[in-house]
Chains A and B, each alone.
Chain A
Amino acid sequence: MEWADDIYAAFKDAGINQVAYVPDAGHKRLINACIADNDIQTVSLTTEEEGVAVSAGAWLGGDKCVLLMQSSGVGNCINMLSLTETCRFPFVTFVTMRGQWHEFNPWQMPMGTTTKLALETAGLLVDEVDDPNDVGPRAAAALHKAFVGAQSTALLLGQRLVPVKTFGK
């Protein structure tokens, strides 16, 4: 899970000062690093679509925000992404994947297998990574695409990157 530190380093390089998130096992290490950072305001959400809107508000006020979520949360965001598309906000999200690699929970499959399609349909540029050594460079590229290239973008962090969840079965 050291790749999370590489994403955090990319956040610092890009000047990220707000991080909105829904608590998530895959993002736990990154979220905790952001919470511990006094220069980053963390916003714990009740649902992922709030984070799309928080990101837009942050940009209106001159901040740079990132949304952290799990693939199941992508479906919650679809209509709110019309905000980033219509107004061309530089939105960026890092999505930990479920439904890919040793998934034990069939309820994670519908969103997990369609996350990329859903985000692309909503107008985002989507990149994927499951090599831990490549997470840092791809994270930096996603942030650059958003805040320098003015694009809406998502980086999908493959399920192979996170410990297999079993609920003891």
Chain B
Amino acid sequence: MSERAEQFPLHRRDVAKTLLQARDDMLIVTGLGSTNWDFTAAGDQPRIFPLWGAMGGAVPIGLGLALAQPHKRVMVATGDGEMLMGIGALATVAVNAPKNLAICVFDNERYGETGMQTTHTASVTDLALTAKGLGIQDADTITDETSLKAHLDTITGADGPIFRVIKVRAEKLDFVLPSKDGVHLKNRFRANLLGEGAL
């Protein structure tokens, strides 16, 4: 069993803060579960839609949103476990090729919410290679601060779909929880994007 993830230099909370601050008008979908806590810690706000369930749904939600809002930048930030559960959605994204969609997988090679059991990325699975195989040509892996900075403009602005695996340290962190009320999360997102008339 690989323990390498405990030595990865990037800390997920710092990565979330960097991505959130990189562009203040991105629409963001965060997947169950640690990426929710990371982005809530970085600054909970209406333009973020966090998932408390629906595992495997982060990418296709981002796709529907990106197609509905072609002039807005959409970013999906999710974990390796959540991504693996809905991996076929990457082929669906590739076929539809939304230029405004970026997918960032915070890959700590662990299932964080169930006791830090290893995911398949800890041993044999390469998610960037998988994304390429499923048709997302602009796919790469980020492993340190320098490389994260070098990829920021691409994640926030380049023609997509963009797929980035960000290897982050396997570490247990305090929970920083967003609202669990799905109706509230949906309504605040729509009101912020479409105006109060959308409620």
Contact = CB atoms under 8 A, between A and B. Distances in A.
Contacts of B194: 62
B161 interface: no
B61 to A, nearest CB: 4
Contacts of A18: 64, 67-68
Contact of B88 (A41, A47, A83, A89): A47
B89 A46 contact: yes
A80 interface: yes
B58 to A, nearest CB: 8
A79 interface: yes
Contacts of B91: 46
Interface in A1-20: 17-18, 20
A138 B27 CA distance: 35
A43 B92 contact: yes
B69 A62 contact: yes
B41 to A, nearest CB: 22
Interface in B45-63: 49, 51-63
Interface residues of A, number: 33
A56 B61 contact: yes
Interface stretch (B107-115, B150-158, B165-173, B178-186): B178-186
B96 interface: yes
Given A46-B89, A88-B186, A62 B57 contact: no
A75 B55 CA distance: 16
B95 interface: yes
* Chain B, interface SS category: helix
A42 to B, nearest CB: 9
A50 B65 contact: no
A126 interface: no
Nearest to A63: B68
Contact of A61 (B59, B69, B88, B89): B69
A61 B51 CA distance: 16
Contact of B189 (A17, A49, A60): A60
B89 A50 contact: yes
B176 interface: no
The 8 closest A-B pairs by CB, nearest first: A57-B64, A61-B68, A87-B182, A46-B88, A53-B60, A63-B68, A53-B57, A57-B61
25 contacts: A18-B64, A18-B68, A41-B96, A43-B92, A43-B96, A44-B96, A46-B88, A46-B89, A46-B91, A46-B92, A50-B57, A50-B60, A53-B54, A54-B60, A56-B64, A57-B60, A59-B190, A60-B65, A61-B64, A61-B65, A61-B72, A62-B69, A65-B64, A87-B186, A88-B182
Interface of B: 27, 29, 49, 51-69, 72, 86, 88-89, 91-92, 95-96, 182-183, 185-186, 189-190, 193-194, 198
